[in-house]
């Protein structure tokens, strides 16, 4: 997401003597590798936060530390060419719509987005969506 606008003084003076600024947003663009789409300012203001935003960091850390086997099984959902030469696969991002894995190679990296069968509307449902992806992955050969 790209926010464009003007930096202005907020009118507050922080205790450390710095100048406090705010971004007066004029334009919002949501971009993926394939597309870019303008988002209306009203849509942005009214958007609900992602239900996984607060827990994303701890969930990703838990996956990386305690469930690397599951991360590798999820990577098996990718086209085999994507995993060829990968030296490491890590969970990178998690939101209501899916999980993103980072495939690291000797000289570069590539991200793999795996959408959930259904969007998650509360954090307690994330385990079920990951289980559904893992069930799908079980039908694919394991990455080598």
Whether 143 is in a domain gets the answer no
State how many domains the chain has.
Answer: 2
Whether 51 is in a domain gets the answer no
Burial class of residue 77 in the structure, from the number of CB atoms within 10 Å of its CB (0-12 exposed, 13-18 middle, 19+ buried): middle
The percent of residues in the chain predicted with pLDDT above 90, rounded, is 67
Closest CA to 126 of 91, 92, 96, 101: 96
Are residues 102 and 38 part of one domain? no
Whether 95 is in a domain gets the answer yes
Whether 144 is in a domain gets the answer no
- 83-128 tens-digit pLDDT: 999 999 999 999 999 999 999 999 999 999 999 999 999 999 999 9
For the segment 47-71, the average pLDDT, to the nearest whole number, is 94
Distance CA 112, CA 135 (A): 18
Q: Has residue 73 got a pLDDT over 60?
A: yes
Residue 126 Ramachandran class (φ > 0 left, ψ -120 to 50 alpha, else beta): alpha
Are residues 30 and 86 part of one domain? no
CATH number at residue 95: 3.20.180.10
Are residues 131 and 60 part of one domain? yes
For the segment 20-37, the average pLDDT, to the nearest whole number, is 86
Are residues 68 and 121 part of one domain? yes
Structural domain range at position 26: 2-46
Contacting residues for 101 by C-beta, under 8 A, at least 6 apart:
71, 74, 75, 89, 90, 91, 92, 111, 112, 114
Are residues 60 and 41 part of one domain? no
Whether 96 is in a domain gets the answer yes
Are residues 61 and 20 part of one domain? no
Report pLDDT for 30.
87
Are residues 72 and 134 part of one domain? yes
> pLDDT band for position 129 (50/70/90)?
very high
Report pLDDT for 141.
60
């Amino acid at each position: 997401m790209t926010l464009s606008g003007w930096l202005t003084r907020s009118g507050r003076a922080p205790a450390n003597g710095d100048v406090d600024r705010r971004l007066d947003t004029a334009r919002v663009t949501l971009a993926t590798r394939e597309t870019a789409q303008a988002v209306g300012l009203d849509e942005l203001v009214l958007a609900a936060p992602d239900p996984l935003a607060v827990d994303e960091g701890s969930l990703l850390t838990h996956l990386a530390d305690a469930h690397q086997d599951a991360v590798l099984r999820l990577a098996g959902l990718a086209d085999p060419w994507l995993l060829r030469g990968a030296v490491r696969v890590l969970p990178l991002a998690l939101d209501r719509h899916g999980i993103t894995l980072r495939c690291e190679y000797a000289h570069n990296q590539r991200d793999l987005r795996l959408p959930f069968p259904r969007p998650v509307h509360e954090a307690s449902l994330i385990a079920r969506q990951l289980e559904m992806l893992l069930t799908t992955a079980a039908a694919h050969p394991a990455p080598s």
